[in-house]
Amino acid sequence: MIPTYNCANYLAQTLESVLSQDPGPEQMQIEVVDDCSTKDDPEAVVREIGKGRVSFYRQPQNVGAICNFNTCVQRSIGQFVHILHGDDFVAPDFYSSYAEVLQLHPDATLIISPSISIDENNRHIHIESPLANKNGVIIDFPKIQAVKNTIHTPTAVVPRRVYEEIGGYYLPLSHTADWEMFFRAGLYGKAVTLDRQVAYYRVHSASDTSRLALTGKNIWEAKYTVDMCMHQLPEKVRAEIVKNKYSHIAGLAHYFYSELAKKEMWKSSLIHAGWNLRLSPRKYALKVYLIAVARYILYGAFKFDRQLLKLKKDIPTAS
C-alpha cells in the first residue's frame, strides 16, 4: 500500500522497485492511496508505470498523512500489510527476504529491517545497523521502542490480523504515529528483523519534522509518545527504564537547540533548550538554557520572525 501526497516525482522509482519483484496479482495487491495531491498527478504516474497492474485511490479531500495510512490499512486485502511511502523504495530482494523471515517466524506481529537513509538525489546519508536479536527475534523490543523510534516506516510489515486486533495509527499524533503503532505491534506479540538493509528511507531538507521543530512541537509529541508507550508496558518493565525514559528525546532537544542557534533562530533554539532542561534537569542543561535565554534577549527578542508567526497555531499548549 503506497500513500502519496505531492511526491509524484519520486513515485515512479517507488513503483518500479515493487513491480520488479511482483509475484502477480494473486499474491500481491499494489495500490497507491493519494491524499488529494495538489501539486502533481500521481494517477498519471500509476497509469504510465503500473500499466494496469497498480490500482489507484484518491481521497475525496485531504485527510492528513496519518488518516491516509489508516485508509491504506482499511483498503488492504492481503494477510500482510506493507506501507511504502510514495517517496521511498525497496531493494530487489525485499519481499523474498521478508517471506523467508516469515517462514521462520510465522507468529511474528512485526517484521522490520535496518534501512538506508537517502537524500533527494538518492545519495546515501546513513546506513542503520540491525537491532540486537537472537535468531531474528529482537531482544527487549518493547523496552527499546517505548523510549525511541528505532524503525523507518518503509521497513515495517505488519500482519493484517494485528491491525484488526490492536487498531490502526493514532490520529492525534502527526509525526510519531508510526513510532507508537510499531511499539504496539511488537508489544502485542513478537518483533523480528532482518540483519541487512533492504529498504530506502528518503530524508527531505524541508521535512515535517523540521517544520514542527520551529515551535518545539516535535519534542512535545515525542514526549507524549513516550508517555503513551510507557503506560502500556508491564509494570516490571516500566520500572526498569522509567528513570531514563526521556534521555533520548532530551538529546534530540539539545541537538535542535544547537542546530537552530546556528541558523540564528533564537526563539526556536530557546524552546528546545527549555525542553532539554525539563526532560533532563542537570547543571549543564541549565547552563545551556541560560545561554539560550541570553541569546534570545540579545539577538532575537525584537526580531520579526515570519516563520514563527505563521506557525503560531502549532505552538504546543499541553504541559
Q: Is the pLDDT of residue 310 over 70?
A: no
Q: What is the pLDDT of residue 300?
A: 67
Q: What is the pLDDT of residue 214?
A: 87
Domains and CATH numbers, the chain: 2-205 (3.90.550.10), 209-314 (no CATH)
For residue 162, which of 128, 126, 196, 187 has the smallest C-alpha distance? Answer: 187
Q: Is the pLDDT of residue 312 over 70?
A: no
Q: What is the pLDDT of residue 290?
A: 96
Q: What is the pLDDT of residue 213?
A: 84
Q: How far apart are the first and last CA of the chain?
A: 36
Q: What is the pLDDT of residue 298?
A: 86
Q: What is the pLDDT of residue 204?
A: 80
* Mean pLDDT, the chain, integer: 92
Q: Is the pLDDT of residue 50 over 80?
A: yes
Across the chain, which distance is largest between two alpha carbons, in Å?
65
Which long-range contacts link 101-104 to residues 24+ away (Cβ below 8 Å)? 101/136, 101/192, 101/193, 101/194, 104/135, 104/136, 104/192
Residue 46's pLDDT band, with cuts at 50, 70 and 90, is very high
pLDDT, tens only, 215-273: 999 999 999 999 999 999 999 999 999 999 999 999 999 999 999 999 999 999 999 99
> Can you tell me the mean pLDDT for 2-7?
96
pLDDT, tens only, 133-169: 999 999 999 999 999 999 999 999 999 999 999 999 9
Q: What is the pLDDT of residue 211?
A: 75
Measured CA angle at 64 (ends 70, 1), to 5 deg: 40
Q: What is the pLDDT of residue 212?
A: 81
Q: What is the pLDDT of residue 299?
A: 84
Q: Is the pLDDT of residue 318 over 60?
A: no
The owner of cell 523480528 is 192
Q: Is the pLDDT of residue 305 over 70?
A: no
Q: What is the pLDDT of residue 207?
A: 55
Task: Give, in order, the Cα–Cα distances in Å from 71 to each of 33, 34, 134, 307, 318.
Answer: 8, 10, 34, 32, 28
